[in-house]
Amino acid sequence: MSVPDSLTLADPALLRTDGYIDGRWTPPDSGARFGVVDPASGETIAAVADMGAAETVRAVAAAEAALPAWRELTAKQRSAVLRRWYELMVDNTADLGAIVTAEMGKPLAEGRGEIAAGAAYVEWFAEEAKRAYGETIPSHDPAMRLMVIKQPVGVVAAITPWNFPFATIARKAAPALAAGCTVVAKPAEDTPLSALALAELAERAGVPAGVFNVVTASEPAAVGAALTSSPVVRKISFTGSTEVGKLLMQQAARTVKKVALELGGNAPLIVFDDADLDAAVNHAIVSKFRNGGQTCVCANRILVQAGVYEEFVDRFCAASAALRVGPGTSEGTDIGPLINAAAMAKVRRLVGAAVTGGATVRMGGEAHRLGGTFYDTTVLTDVTDEMDIAAEEVFGPVASIFRFDTTGEAVAAANDTPYGLAAYFFTRDLARAFRVGEALDYGMVAVNSGLLMTEVAPFGGVKESGIGREGARAGLEEFLETKYLAIGGI
C-alpha cells in the first residue's frame, strides 16, 4: 500500500484502508471503495472499504464472541493493555497528527494536540478501570447480606464525527474497553483513517480479536440501522448532530438500548463590563477559531456588555486579523479549510442572511482567496437574536457579536436556545461568577476561560445537546451496569 506524496508517514502501516473486524483487516463484500479527500487540496488520499449492513452484523458477532473472555479479565489486566495502547499513541503522535490533518484539514499543531487529548483519555481510563467500585449495604435482615457490583454493559456501538476523528473514538473506546465491554466503531465517512490507525495500534497493543472493530462506510444509514436494530448491541454512544442523534435514539428504543448522545451546541461566550479584556479577547479567539470554528463547543454567540462592547470588538478584530488561513500542513497556519462543500455552503448562507438582515461585516465575510473550502476569518457585529446565525451552529470561522446591557438580559439570551452543551463567561466579580455559572442552563460552564475539555472532568450537555457524560469517573459509569446481589442464608 503506497502513501500519497501529500501524506508522508514514518510508519506507513498506520495508513489502513480496509475495515477491521475480528482482528482481521477486511475488504468490503461488494469490492466498493470510497475516496477520503484532503479538504485543503481536494486530493484523494485513500480509497477506503465501503461497507454496509452485512459487514456490520459480522462485526457485532465478533464483538459478542470476544465479550466473555475480555470481561473476565481482571481490571488490572485490561488496564495493562490500555496502557500499552496509550503508549503507542504517544510514540506515533507525529504520524497520527499528520493523518488527522490530511483527512480533516486542521493545522498540524492542532492535529498533534488532538492525538495528545485522545491519548490522555486512554491513559485516564486505563487507570480508572481499577476503580469501578461497588458497595455493601447495611442489611434489613440479619440473615442476609446486600451488595452492589458493577458489570460491563456488553457490546457497544461507537459512532463518531469528522471534526475530531481521533479523540472522539478514543474517548468512547477507552472507557468501554476499560469497563470490560467490546466495541464496534463507525467513524465519519469524511475521516475514517484515524479510526483505522487506532485499530492498527490496538492490535499492536494486544487488544484481542473482536474486542475493537471498525466498520467504514460512505453511507452511514445502513450501518447505523444494523447497530441500532441488533439485540446484541446494548449501548449506542454517538457524537454528531442533534437531528441524527434523535433518529438513533428512536431506533435504539426498539430494543431498549442505553444511549449516550453528545449532540449539537450553540455556545454563548459572555463578556461582562468588569472582565479582564485581554484575557477575554485571547480566550474568545481560542474558543471561536480553534479547529476553524468546527467544534460543538465553539463560541457560537459572543455577547458583550454595552460598556466594553466597542473596545472588545476592536481588540477582537485586531486579534482575528492576525490569524492565518491556509492548508494545515503549511507553517504558521492557524485556520484550515472547512471539511467539505456542504459546510462551505452553510457558512455562506448564514453569513449572507445575517448581512441581509442588518449585520455589519467588520472583517472577512466571504470565501478566502485560496478557493476551495477555505473561508475568511470573519467578524460580524450588530447581530440580533432573530437571525439564523444566532440559532444555528455556524461550524466555521465566523464570530457573531451581540450587545447586551444587564446580567439578566445576558443570561436570558444565552439560555434562549434548545441546546445546552457549553457556555463561557468573563468577569472579575466573584459573586457574579457563582450566580451566572449556576443560572446558565448548560452541561459545562467555563468562567474566565475559553477551554474546558479535559479527560479528568465530565464532558456533556443538557436539553437537546445530549444525554450522558464522557471523561472522568462518570465516563466509566456510562459503560457499567449496576447489579444488586441479595445473599440469604447467612
All cell numbers assigned to 390: 444566532
pLDDT in tens, 306-321: 999 999 999 999 999 9
User: Amino acid identity, residue 288?
Assistant: K
Over pLDDT 90: what percentage of the chain? Answer: 98
CA dist 364 and 317 (Å) reads 10
In angstroms, the CA 438 to CA 436 distance is 5
Which candidate in 103, 110, 262, 470 is catalytic? Answer: 262
Mean pLDDT of 441-458: 97
Is 296 annotated as catalytic?
A: yes
Alpha carbon 128 to its chain centroid, in Å, reads 21
Nearest CA to 200 among 9, 13, 349? 13
Which residue spans of the chain are classified as CATH 3.40.605.10? Answer: 12-263+465-485
**Lookup: cell for 271:** 463578556
Looking at the predicted structure, is the pLDDT value of residue 1 above 50? no
Task: State the Cα angle at 94 between 93 and 95, rounded to 5°.
Answer: 95
On the CB side of 219, CA atoms within 13 Å amount to 7
pLDDT digits (tens, 9 = 90+) for 250-309: 999 999 999 999 999 999 999 999 999 999 999 999 999 999 999 999 999 999 999 999
Q: In 10 A of CB 366, how many CB atoms?
A: 12
* Cα–chain center distance at 390: 22
Task: Work out the number of other CB atoms within 10 angstroms of the CB of residue 299.
Answer: 28
Query: What was the pLDDT predicted at 420?
Result: 98
Q: How confident is the model at residue 3 (pLDDT cuts 50, 70, 90)?
A: low
Question: Are residues 209 and 62 in contact, defined by beta-carbon separation less than 8 angstroms?
Answer: yes
Question: Which class for 358: exposed (0-12), middle (13-18), buried (19 or more C-beta within 10 A)?
Answer: exposed
- The residue-averaged pLDDT of 444-473 equals 97
Mean pLDDT of the chain: 97
Q: How does residue 7 score in pLDDT terms, banded at 50, 70 and 90?
A: confident
In the block, residue with C-alpha cell 481499577 = 130
Half-sphere exposure at residue 413, Cβ-oriented, CA atoms within 13 angstroms: 25
Residue 133 has pLDDT above 60, yes or no: yes
What radius of gyration do the chain's Cα atoms show? 23
Q: Is 262 a catalytic residue?
A: yes
Judging by beta carbons within 10 Å of its beta carbon (0-12, 13-18, 19+), is residue 341 exposed, middle or buried? exposed
CA 207-218-66 angle, 5° bins = 25
Residue 4, pLDDT above cutoff 90:
no
Beta strand 182-186 with 155-159 is parallel
The closest of 286, 298, 237, 173 to 467, measured between CA atoms, is 237
Over the stretch 319-345, which tens digit does the pLDDT of each residue have?
999 999 999 999 999 999 999 999 999
Helix axes 407-415, 430-439, angle to 10 degrees: 30
pLDDT-based confidence at residue 5 (cuts at 50, 70, 90): low
Return the CATH number of the domain spanning residue range 267-454: 3.40.309.10
- The dihedral built from the CA positions of residue 215, 52, 36 and 45, taken in this order, carries a sign that is positive
Architecture of domain 12-263+465-485: 3-Layer(aba) Sandwich (3.40)
Query: What is the mean pLDDT of the segment spanning 350-369?
Result: 97
Residues in the chain: 490
Q: The whole model's pTM is what? A: 0.96
Residue 161: half-sphere exposure toward Cβ, Cα within 13 Å: 18
From 55, 181, 296, 470, the catalytic residue: 296
pLDDT attached to residue 6: 64
Per residue in 24-61, pLDDT tens?
999 999 999 999 999 999 999 999 999 999 999 999 99
**How far is CA 80 from its chain centroid?**
25
* 460 pLDDT more than 80: yes
- Cα distances from 28 to residues 50, 51, 54, 113, 369, in angstroms, run 6, 5, 10, 32, 39
Q: Which cell goes with 107?
A: 493545522
Instruction: Return d(Cα 82, Cα 73) in angstroms, integer.
Output: 13
- Which amino acid does the sequence have at 126? A
Grid coordinates in use for 395?
Answer: 461550524
Domain with CATH 3.40.309.10 in the chain: 267-454
Q: Check whether 428 has a pLDDT greater than 90.
A: yes
